[in-house]
Chains A and B, each alone.
Chain A
Amino acid sequence: MQTPFQWVMLVLGLFLTFALPFLIPSDLLNFFIKSFITITAVLGITLLTGNCGQISLGHTAFMAVGAFVGAILLNQGIPLILSLVLAGLAGGIVGLIFGLPALRIKGFYLAFATLAAFYVIQFILIHYFGGVVGHSVPPPSIFGLSFNSDFRIYYLIASTCFMMTYFTKNITRCKWGRAFIAIRDHDIAANTLGVNVYFYKLMAFFIGCFYAGVAGLLLSIYMGWASVDHYSLTNCIWYLGMIIVGGMHSMSGAYMGVFFILGIEELGIVIAPKLAELFPYLSGSMIGAIPIIFVGLVLVLFIMFEPRGLVHRWEIIKTSMRLFPFSN
């Protein structure tokens, strides 16, 4: 946000986002709703994994916690904004608890500990909070305006997503964000420099999972139903893949990664029925398998050939455009 041009672009972008539902057909609108929910969740991963270096394979489980708590609260008639905050807090506190191993372990051990946390949380939700059936979520309302159609939910989700983006931006450039980056680069070195590693690691988990909780509730509002099926391990893998495809450390990376991967997934969903006609002898369900194969393949290829992500590509293009006649 340094030049007037960037301000103009920001206002234009915001205006375009809020005018979007009038311009596009409804199935494309669903794509954007899904994208904005995913971006909210992925921003949490950007903070936790991209900035603080703590890998969490339990992110969708924390989303499910937020969704369940939020659904129960909304059913009790708690106002939407309060429910969103409480859902975020619930996700954050559960994240804090399962982030405790991070104080002693890191790397593969931490990744697998969070994977274990995923299964434990899913078990608890299914057995003690009515998980397999789940909870229905009534369309919430603010000031008498009920979010009962995709068209209206889009505004709720887009504005929440932008608020969270703004929040992320501010965290990454204040003292906390710099502490996160110091821990990511070398936690022992950060400790010797006076960064309270334990406190900031736990805070990274808390904030990252706060995002997860909010995104989880948003998803369940959009679906009208909170069930553990919406928060699978596969989704968690895709979310982590998105920050790699986008570029691990930046918010624009999160946006690019989400749109790119979800776009591939949509492509898979569109192509699958046509492929099923071409290869009738394959016994599996094309519609279930093709998107997974597409996204999995794209992630593998991306990490093999461009591990620094789309943002890195974009920087190269920007630099070469600036140097135009002299670039190679």
Chain B
Amino acid sequence: MGKILNYIIAGLANGCIYSLIAIGFVLIYKSSSILNFAQGAIVILSAFVFYSFTIQLGIPIVIAILLALAFGALLGFVIERFILDRLIGQPILAIIILTLAFSEFLKGIMNLGWGTDILSAPQLFPRGNITILNIATLDYSRIAFLVITFVLISIFAIFYNKTKIGLAMKATSDDTIAAGSVGIRVRRVFAVTWIISCITAAAGGILVTNVMGIHYKVAEIGYKAMAVALVGGLQSLPGIIIIGPVMGILEFLSAAYLDPLVDGGMRDLAPFIILLIVLIFRPSGIFGWERIERI
């Protein structure tokens, strides 16, 4: 019993990070119908930058976190200004290959700059764990994950639903042309969208590498987050916030109980299998909208 509870809580903590990263996918998809396959690379690149700031340059951790987030914002802005411009209206294949090629390019840069060894990230949370009611033991970093992602997602929800620019983002994602004709600066909204999604990616990267270590192969977490976004439905922000933790829990449970049957590796596979099953029964995701097409 206690064991299951442990897996569930660990999965919950990891799943929250998937939600955090997946917010970036959904925001960009809603505003410009682009699915950004490079998100995973951005996640890890930000983590590498954070590593350089703290370990190599010796900047205090809090300032380094802010700088890494700022780096993510800058990256998002640059991508929006120089690449997105030419992508709108391109066929889907071109978008997919461009973002994938860009992600490989970033991975190459990371390989060049930081090498292929697994670097250990600076300690953010104290080591150790606590036992709750004698059933579940939790290490501090998992608790911190839960709290931090909860706070970040709440901030984001307030920003998106209450502030002026958040509402402008909502309007733009509903109808770009209508938003433009009531005076919303659509390009600025796109820029903000990319900046926010890269900041959430950077935050996710700093958090997740704190447990997994920094290595450019960790970029595959971007694909897991994308599976969360697709299962939840690409148009639905509440959907992915719910699906992320569910996916994380399923991932940990399948790792715990299926791994002995197939000798390992189930953890990395579970999100993809869940995705394939969901897509067969609900092609637009669990909370997504059915697409109605005209000829």
Contacts and interface: CB of A to CB of B under 8 A. Distances in A.
A48 to B, nearest CB: 11
A49 B269 contact: no
A123 B269 contact: yes
A117 interface: yes
Given A119-B268, A186-B295, A297 B105 contact: yes
A114 B45 CA distance: 25
B97 A104 contact: no
A122 to B, nearest CB: 9
Given A109-B279, A126-B265, A303 B293 contact: no
Interface string B70-107: 00000000000001001100111110111011101111
By DSSP majority rule, is chain B's interface helix, strand, loop, or mixed?
helix
A284 B113 contact: yes
B236 to A, nearest CB: 14
Given A55-B92, A113-B279, A303-B98, A289 B108 contact: yes
A304 B83 contact: yes
B116 A285 contact: yes
A288 interface: yes
B295 A123 contact: no
A126 B262 CA distance: 11
A120 B279 CA distance: 15
B150 interface: no
B227 interface: yes
A289 B268 CA distance: 25
Given A126-B265, A286-B112, A307 B90 contact: yes
A296 B101 contact: yes
A222 B116 CA distance: 28
A156 interface: no
B114 A284 contact: yes
Interface string A288-305: 111011011101100111
B115 interface: yes
B111 A292 contact: yes
B99 to A, nearest CB: 9
B227 to A, nearest CB: 7
A7 B55 CA distance: 66
A115 B223 contact: yes
Contacts of A299: 97-98, 101
B112 A101 contact: no
A26 interface: no
Contacts, number: 148
Contacts of B268: 119, 123
A8 B247 CA distance: 61
A107 B106 CA distance: 24
A283 B97 contact: no
B133 to A, nearest CB: 37
B112 A289 contact: yes
A105 B283 contact: yes
B135 to A, nearest CB: 33
Nearest to A186: B295
Interface stretch (B4-12, B137-145, B183-191, B270-278): B270-278
Given A241-B97, A288-B116, A108 B234 contact: yes
Contact of B272 (A120, A293, A296): A120
Contacts of A164: none
Contacts of A241: 97, 101
Contacts of A55: 92-93, 96
A304 B98 contact: yes
B98 A300 contact: yes
Nearest to B100: A237
A240 interface: yes
B176 interface: no
B280 interface: yes
B221 interface: no
A101 B90 contact: no
A138 B107 CA distance: 35
A101 B116 CA distance: 36
Given A116-B272, A192-B295, A285-B116, A109 B284 contact: yes
Nearest to A283: B115
A303 B114 contact: no
Contacts of B227: 112, 116
Given A241-B101, A284-B116, 19 more contacts: A108-B29, A108-B96, A109-B279, A112-B230, A116-B276, A117-B276, A120-B269, A123-B268, A126-B265, A237-B100, A241-B97, A285-B111, A289-B108, A292-B108, A293-B108, A296-B105, A299-B98, A307-B90, A307-B91
27 contacts: A55-B93, A105-B284, A109-B230, A109-B283, A112-B227, A112-B275, A113-B276, A113-B279, A116-B227, A116-B275, A116-B276, A119-B272, A192-B295, A234-B104, A237-B104, A244-B93, A282-B113, A284-B113, A288-B111, A292-B104, A292-B105, A296-B101, A297-B105, A299-B101, A300-B105, A304-B87, A307-B90
Interface of A: 49, 55, 57, 100-101, 104-105, 107-109, 111-113, 115-117, 119-120, 123, 126-127, 186, 188-189, 192, 234, 237, 240-241, 244, 248, 282-286, 288-290, 292-293, 295-297, 299-300, 303-305, 307
Top 5 nearest A-B pairs (CB, nearest first) are: A296-B105, A116-B272, A299-B101, A293-B108, A292-B108
